[in-house]
Structure formats: C-alpha cells, structure tokens
C-alpha cells in the first residue's frame, strides 16, 4: 500500500485563504539566501525550500522534502534582516495583506524577525514538491507557542 504522505504535493493560491494553506504546508521550511531569486523583468519571485513533511509527522515520520514556491505578478521585493552568506532561514508563515483589491503585499515571515515583502498585482502562487525526501534530524518545535 502506498504512503499518501509520500505523494508529491502541488498547490495553487489565488487568494489569501489559498495562501494560508500553502503557508501551513511550508511552516518550518528551511532555505538559504542563495535559494531565493527575484526576476523583476518576469515579475516572478521564486525560492527553493526544504519543507518539513507535516503530513508524515502525523503518522510518526520525521522527514523533509525539497519544494519550490513561486509568485507571479510581483512588482517589487524587499527584505528585512536577511543576512548575506550561508545562514539558514526558517520560514514561519506566508501572509497576504490587501491594499488595492486585488493588489497587496505577500510577506514571508522567518525566524528571528527576518522577512521578505512582495508587492503583488494579485495573489498568484504555486508550491510544488520536487521529489527528494529524506529523514529529518528532528521535528520542529515552537516552545514560545501557547
């Protein structure tokens, strides 16, 4: 019998509610600055992540998967506290704040107060597992969470 949690995940977000589903699947994903690309001429922002497999965790497994996330219709990208070099970033959440419907800002919130804010014409994002799965060292924990 196949493991449904091992099936590659592919999600599309066209509004804030859809984006919250992607955010839940990417909580505690890790990446480095070199895994991030902004292509202003194409209005695209993309990143490669190593996401924690929360579906597998519900079955007692600890694993990570390589995944990609990209946003279309991006008109600007700004970052706060994203260090140069090989520092590991841990993604906590992806949110959308509307400004002039359907435009707004998508914010990628990382640990230690780091963030990337994207100005978007509208929410248009895709997340896709790229294949490799490996055993995780530990299950992410949030001791400050109530």
Q: Residue 101: which pLDDT band, with cuts at 50, 70 and 90?
A: confident
Indicate whether this model's pTM tops 0.85. yes
- Average pLDDT rounded to a whole number, residues 104-128: 97
R_g over Cα of the chain? 15
Residue 146 has a pLDDT of 47
Give the DSSP H or E segment for 18.
helix 16-26
Residue 79 has a pLDDT of 95
Residue 5 has a pLDDT of 54
């Amino acid at each position: 019998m196949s493991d449904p949690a091992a099936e590659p995940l592919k999600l599309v977000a066209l509004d804030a509610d859809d984006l919250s589903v992607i955010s839940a699947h990417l909580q505690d994903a890790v990446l480095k600055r070199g895994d991030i690309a902004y292509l202003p001429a194409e209005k695209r922002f993309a990143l490669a992540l190593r996401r924690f497999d929360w579906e597998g965790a519900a079955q007692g497994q600890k694993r990570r998967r390589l995944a990609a996330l990209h946003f279309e219709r991006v008109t600007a990208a700004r970052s706060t506290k994203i260090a140069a070099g090989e520092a590991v970033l841990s993604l906590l959440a992806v949110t959308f704040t509307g400004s002039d419907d359907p435009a707004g800002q998508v914010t990628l919130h990382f640990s230690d107060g780091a963030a990337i804010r994207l100005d978007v014409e509208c929410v248009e994002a895709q997340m896709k597992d790229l294949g490799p799965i490996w055993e995780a060292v530990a299950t992410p924990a949030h001791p400050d969470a109530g």
